[in-house]
Structure 1
Amino acid sequence: MDFSENDSVDAVLASFADTPDPRLREVMDGLVRHLHGFLRDVRPSLHEWEQAIDFLTAIGQRSDEHRQEFILFSDVMGASMLVETMEATRQAGGASGATGERVDATASTVLGPFHVVTSPERALGDTIDSVGTGEPCLIEGSVRAPDGTTVPGARIDVWQADEQGSYDVESEGRQPIGNGRGLFTADDDGRFWFRSIVPAHYPIPTDGPVGALLRATKRHPYRPAHVHFIVEAPGYVPVTTHVFVEGSPYLDSDAVFAVKQSLVRDFAAVDDADAAARHGLPNPFRRAHFDIVLAPEAS
């Protein structure tokens, strides 16, 4: 049978007809239908299609053990946040609030391209800042279930940019690997606390193909100041989320669409010499409180 524009979908779908995995067959069916529909809508020239292939090839070539350019591309296209939002609804069994988040659970956000280094194990109260620059702060909170039950022993993986807006893996030796990262274990009451510095807002990497796309479309590359969290515990749905610094630039125009008001916190100024001494911080310092609510796994 001759391959034509009118029968392209049927021809390709027929080639996948014997796919034994029903979910894979469903995915390929949707992909083929939408991809061919997209191509018929925009009608790219052969040269434009070659440019698209070159763009995707460049994304793969720019990805390495320290940076995931495909995640960056997914982020700036809003795909990462859409998948996160749909996953939250799925985990809730379809019951979700107006924002599509799991009812009563901490809102999820994107993973980002820099969760590529294993966070060092740290004790509660340790600092994740090994450089000693930036404005010192204390971040504290608790992990609990929606009914208020504490979650002892929850694992809390955190990572953040420094005061110049750079992660350890992109600072060209200015920071040691592991700076700005920590893996903590909540205490018997589900509490956690650690020292850090107030992170800065920053541009996502623009030296690769995703940056070229942003420039071509006149989009800014900036993210508001935030700290990343992954929190997990047996019997609960893990959450990947952020805490955002209240008052940071770009809270209303995050380049990766990840800001949710429920995740914005005041990093309040504290002038208390005794509290500073208890936490091993200089006085004054900044303090943020961020509780994490984990949804129970479906039984």
Structure 2
Amino acid sequence: MIQGFVKTPEVQALLDRASGKTVEGGDDRLKAITRDLVESLMATIVKYDVTESEFWSSIKFFQDGAREFGLIVPGLGLEHFMDLYMDAKDKEAGQSGGTPRTIEGPLYVEGAPLVEGDVDLSDDPDETGTLYMTGQIKGPEGESPDGAILHVWHANSQGFYSHFDPTGAQTPFNNRRRIKIGSDGRYSFHSKMPNGYSVPPGGSTETLLKAIGRHGNRPAHVHFFVEAPGYRALTTQINFGDDPFAKDDFAFATREGLLPVPQRQGDSAYVAFDFELQRSASSDDEVFSARSRAAA
């Protein structure tokens, strides 16, 4: 097929109309983004001479798999790409330092209990060892931010998260807490040991990954939000550095600086990990993204 077909006047006029650029009203930025996205899809169709059947099979795949977009997006590297892009913008702006950001994933739940002290995250019994995790939250000069809150969430030993557990066995906020941090900046919690997991078997994410020759496994990991007035909100997670999938995470969440190797004693493990926050340039830096999240 002629590679320049998308640039023909007829197709360019179609793009202008389809994106709303020929009419008044609407958001001009959204119009421009929509036009470029659709044009890129059209160029891909022409480049690979996508057939009508292939086109509609792809549409059906995304229609059927809409409930797994939260897994498909990180699985295709798009969520990690956003981290890399934000890192690049920070570098260009002269912002550096602090704990690396990494993907949030789709399994945060708002409204976890707000607690203090040495916290037990686990409400439910689990035939596994105990994870002990300690450390400090500090600013760029080593100071302890006032009013810091550490959000923590992770899976159980079966790789299932409360609120999303297909067995229905977990209580609502099992392995989920928000921890108020004291004036010394230190935190401490323990919980039933999380395990790595794979994407739902037979689901759309697994179907897509298998089709391109990839697996859908994640290493054992723990998710965090860190917030404090005057500091940039941090979205990150640690992945256990001795997990077999630590360097081959299907969701591309593993990053240098976020791979502590637990000190293991029998079935239990100990992790020491400090979080370093960057100071905020504006109040917008202090809040998390407008991503849609589950709420209890």
SS in 1 for 2:92: coil
Kindly tell me the number of residue pairs found equivalent between the two proteins: 271
Question: Among 265, 268, 273, which residue is 1:290 paired with?
Answer: 273
Q: More deviation in 48-57 or 160-169?
A: 160-169
Q: Does 1:42 align with 2:48?
A: yes
CA distance in 1, matches of 2:58, 2:9: 23
Partner of 1:7: 9
Alignment of 1:239-250 (within 5 A): 239-250=234-245
Deviation at 1:93, TM superposition (A): 5.9
1:178-226 CA-partner distances (Å, limit 9, x unpaired):
1111111111122211111332121122342112112222311110110
2:38 is aligned with what amino acid?
V
**Structure 1 unaligned blocks of 5 or more:** 64-68, 97-101, 272-283
Alignment of 1:49-198 (within 5 A): 49-60=55-66, 63=67, 69-90=68-89, 92=90, 94-95=92-93, 103-116=96-109, 118-133=111-126, 134-168=128-162, 169-198=164-193
Partner of 2:289: none
Change in 2 beyond 3 A, CA 1:157/1:8 = farther
Q: Is the 8 A contact 2:116 2:181 kept in 1?
A: no
TM-score with structure 2 length normalisation?
0.83
TM-score with structure 1 length normalisation?
0.82
Partner of 2:216: 221
SS in 1 for 2:237: strand
Q: Is the 8 A contact 1:85 1:108 kept in 2?
A: no
Q: Is the 8 A contact 1:9 1:32 kept in 2?
A: no
SS in 1 for 2:134: strand
CA distance in 1, matches of 2:280, 2:14: 39
Partner of 1:99: none
2:196 is aligned with what amino acid?
H
2:261 is aligned with what amino acid?
D
CA distance in 1, matches of 2:10, 2:234: 41
CA distance in 2, matches of 1:47, 1:285: 52
1:120-166 CA-partner distances (Å, limit 9, x unpaired):
32332121112232211221112112222211321111111112222
CA distance in 2, matches of 1:34, 1:149: 47
Partner of 1:275: none
Q: Is the 8 A contact 1:128 1:182 kept in 2?
A: yes
Deviation at 1:8, TM superposition (A): 5.2
Q: Is the 8 A contact 2:122 2:175 kept in 1?
A: yes
CA distance in 2, matches of 1:171, 1:25: 40
CA distance in 2, matches of 1:93, 1:298: 14
Question: Among 30, 33, 41, which residue is 2:39 paired with?
Answer: 33
Q: Is the 8 A contact 1:137 1:287 kept in 2?
A: yes
CA RMSD of aligned residues (A): 2.3
Deviation at 1:292, TM superposition (A): 1.1
Alignment of 1:9-24 (within 5 A): 9-15=11-17, 16-17=20-21, 18=24, 21-24=27-30
Q: Does 1:260 align with 2:258?
A: no
Change in 2 beyond 3 A, CA 1:8/1:174 = farther
Change in 2 beyond 3 A, CA 1:114/1:173 = same
Q: Is the 8 A contact 2:150 2:226 kept in 1?
A: yes
**Structure 1 runs of 4+ off > 4 angstroms?**
none
SS in 1 for 2:172: coil
SS in 1 for 2:45: helix
**Structure 2 unaligned blocks of 5 or more:** 283-296
Deviation at 1:44, TM superposition (A): 1.4
Question: Among 204, 228, 235, which residue is 1:233 paired with?
Answer: 228
CA distance in 1, matches of 2:111, 2:46: 44
Deviation at 1:286, TM superposition (A): 2.7
Give aligned-pair identity as a percent. 28
SS in 2 for 1:24: helix
